[in-house]
Amino acid sequence: MRRGWFLALAVMTARADAAEPARFGIETVALDPSAPALAGPFIALVWKSDCAPCLVELGYLERLQEAAGGRLVSIALDPPGVARATLDERNVPSHAAYAASGDPAGILAGLAGGQTRLPLSVAVTASGEICASHVGLLGTDMAAEWSRSCSK
């Protein structure tokens, strides 16, 4: 577990009641007004609309969500409008989808310890620490394992 890397994506959302500045310069906007605030434990799929493997991964998002025990969110590195349109085009639910603002390469490097490739999956503990990360397509077995091992 990487100590000191705290995921604070939940700190800045589209809701007016969340107005603190986000740690590490990461801010998010909920793509659905009913989206819950991000609070661990959860697994985040980080993606971008021009990333072909990311779009493949979005195609089985519901299976990943089930494997993760319902604790999976998607975080786009696109502007909110582009992210919403991408999800809509693919009939992917946006109830647990967010868009991050800021430099995509910087966000990726911060979340994955220097890696700047997509797709990226990150498991976050209840205390906000990154428990695990993976560059490439996330499988349902890995999502289930992370859900068990990182939910403490």
How many angstroms separate the CA atoms of 51 and 32, rounded? 22
Domains in the chain: ranges and CATH: 9-132 (3.40.30.10)
What pLDDT score does 108 carry? 84
Global pTM reads 0.81
DSSP 20-43: SPPGGG-EEEESSTTPPPP-SSEE
Burial of 135 (0-12, 13-18, 19+ CB in 10 A): middle
Closest by CA position to 32, among listed 90, 72, 80: 80
The answer for 42, left when phi > 0, alpha when psi is -120 to 50, beta otherwise, is: beta
* Between 117 and 55, residue with greater pLDDT: 55
Lowest pLDDT segment from 10-14, 26-30, 36-40, 105-109: 10-14
Mean pLDDT of the chain: 80
**Using one digit for the tens of pLDDT, what is the confidence trace for 43-86?**
999 999 999 999 999 999 999 999 999 989 999 999 999 999 99
- Residues 27, 20 contacting (CB under 8 angstroms): no
